[in-house]
Structures are given as C-alpha cells and as structure tokens.
Amino acid sequence: MSAETAIGIHDLSFRTTSLVLNHCELARSNGTDVAKYHKGLGQHAMSVPTADEDIVTMAAAAALPLVQRHGPDRIRTVVLATESSIDQSKAAGVYVHSLLGLPPHVRVVEVKQACYGATAALQFAGGLVHRDPDQQVLVIASDISRYDLDSPGEATQGAAAAAMLVSADPALLELTGPSGLFTADVMDFWRPNYRATALVNGKESVTAYLNAVEGSWRDYRARGGLPLEDFRAFCYHQPYTRLAFKAHRALLETCGARADDDVLQQAVAPTTGYNETVGNSYTASVYLALTAVLENCSDLDGRTLGLFSYGSGSVAEFIATQVRPGYRSHLRADAHREAVGARQPIDYETYRGLRLQNLPTDGSWYELPHQTRGPFRLAALRDHQRIYEAA
C-alpha cells in the first residue's frame, strides 16, 4: 500500500431512541433548580429507549444509511463497541449483521473498555484497512447509559449509536500522525456484572478524566504530535457537556495557552449540540461531538480536529484527524436533526415506568409492545433468546 494513501472515516451516521425526557420535566419532578442541569451540567434533555429499543436496534439503525449508500460488498469486518452489552458471549454486532443483511464472509466482534471502546475499534479498523485497502470496516458505537433513579447521575443519562465506515481514501476524515495514550487503574465509574446500573465516584471521575486529558496530550506531543495552535477544534468525550469545556481549559493551561471564554467557545462549543440533548451515550459520545462540529462549521476543509476519547477505569487516547476537502457534501445533517427532533417527549411518570420495567430472565416467552419509531425492534424473548425484526 502506498505510504501516501489516506485511511480514515469515509462516512458517519448516528441514531438515537424514539423518546426524550426534557430536563425541565426532570427538574419539576424532583424539585431541582433546572439551572443545575442547564448551566451546571450543560444538559437540556436525554434520550430514553422504548421497551423494544436497545443497543442492537440503535446500532442497526445508525449503520443502515451507510450500507444503503455504499453497499455491503467491501465490508469485511464489523466491530461493535459498547458497555451496555446484552450477552456475555455473543457479540451484539452479530444481530446487527443479520438485520442489515450483510454477506456471511465478515468477521464480527465486540469490544469493551467503558466509553473508550469505539476509539479502540476505530484504530483496529485503520490497521485492517492499511493491510488490505480494498476492504472497508464498519465500526459501531452503541450504548444506553443508566444510573440509579433519584441519583446524581440520573440527569446525565442518554442513548445513541454512531456508525462509521472506515476505508482508504476517506471522504470525511483522515486519521493522521501518532496517538497519545494514557491508562491508570482508578475506580471512578464501573458496573459489575450483577448490576444493571453504574456506580460512580463523581469527584474521582472528574479528576481521573482531567488527568487523562493531560497525560494523553503529553504523550501525543512527546511522540511528535502537532502543536496546540494547529487544531481548529477539539472533540471531547462528553459525559455531560460542561466537562468538555473544563477539559479544554485544563489542556490550554497545561500548554501555557490563553484559556478565556472566547477561546473555549471557538474550540468546543460547535461540538456539544447533539450531546446536550441526547445525553451521555458512552462509546458514541465523542463521535456525536465529531458529527456536530463537522455539521456546524463550514471552514474545515483541510483543517485538523483533535479527538479525546476517555473510558473510565481508565483508558484514554488523543488523536488528530484532518478534514478532507469537500467533506460537507457527504454529511447527513438533515437525517441527524430529524432523528433528534422526531423523538416523542414524555413525562417523568412515563420515563420512570419504562425504567422500572424488567425483561424476564427465566426463559419464558415474552412479546414486546411495538413502540419504536426506528427501522428495527426487539420483538420478543424466547427460551433466553432475543428476537429482532424490521419494524
């Protein structure tokens, strides 16, 4: 393969759930000042799945437009990243492979490292394409974040899936240069197998995140990465959007650069539009930020974007991407705005009722109500098997 051949993201699509809980409604129900959510967290709403939506249905819905535009024939690998896995053995991507009608000669795997997993998948994909530039790799990040009801983390919940087609000579973004890496054994956020909701040490989580920002950036620069001033914008993993601004301020201070509000707004504000209304989508979060900046800025041809991917526990990576000329003609802004805008608002009682529903675990047959507005649904559980269908 020629050393000059670019490898990166050829196409990008995301989808979310059919329902949305507005933070004004959440604040009304629990007596919280809504400014705590709007200003303190930077969150305005959160996506809520219907009973027949899960990480598989969102993943398939996100990937479907990519398969429809480019066809399935060059896809040789599907990597699905999630921390909301539905099975300890079978990869969720196998269900997606079936729903999308992909050919049998495809490898399908699932990867996990908290919210960082999709970036690992992206790097794996780049390596496969480098070895065989005729193939394409479908990378999907799909998650539903859940915290205990009435807990501090409840307001940051969310759900979404982002799908990326990785190829040679990409239309959107080229992966460039070295990566900056950082790993530390911390207990900032975790979910044991026996729990359906995560455990969070809030103060430790912010500290670990900011340490990872500094550590991955220092490693990136030590390996010959670009200086700060070469970047047009920075896409951060966004558990809540205000943390992205805090992270960038910390990065600027680490570099001895000016860190006033104007600088922060220019570098970070274009990335938050989807995350602030979808909520924390774990592995998909940084790629919703990337989608937002590509759609919000018209001056990105040939410019460099920084991506900071963080997964609690913790593993982080900083990578640089170069926007390809003519990228705007390949974007899906209308479809993404429709996916977010078409969600049905629900009241707190409806949301709470959905949260308290539990699928049977005894192998009994169970038919789910048809509630989703998406193209795929979880139709039933039978003999401990999940049955999916086109909606």
User: Catalytic positions, please?
Assistant: 83, 115, 237
- Residue 124 vs residues 129, 230, 341: alpha-carbon distances, Å: 9, 26, 33
- What are the E-state strand segments in 26-172? 45-48, 75-81, 107-111, 136-145, 158-168
DSSP H/E element including 180: strand 173-183
Separation between Cα atoms, residue 250 and residue 188, nearest integer Å: 19
HEC-encoded secondary structure of 17-45: CCEEEEHHHHHHHHCCCCHHHHHHHCCCE
Cis peptide before 285 (omega within 30 of 0): no
Give residue 158's Cα distance to chain centre: 10
Separation between Cα atoms, residue 262 and residue 276, nearest integer Å: 20
**Burial (CB count <10 Å: 0-12, 13-18, 19+), residue 50:** buried
Separation between Cα atoms, residue 209 and residue 205, nearest integer Å: 6
In this structure, is the dihedral angle defined by the CA atoms of residues 281, 177, 208 and 242, taken in order, positive or negative? negative
Could you tell me if 387 and 359 are in contact, meaning their C-beta atoms sit under 8 angstroms apart? no
C-alpha neighbours within 13 Å on the C-beta side of residue 316: 28
Separation between Cα atoms, residue 229 and residue 250, nearest integer Å: 15
Residue 150 tokens read as: 């009435």
**Look-up of token digits 């047009």:** 232
What angle in degrees, to the nearest 10, is found between the helix axes of 241-254 and 261-268? 120
CA geometry: angle at 86 spanning 83 and 88, to 5°? 85
C-alpha neighbours within 13 Å on the C-beta side of residue 11: 19
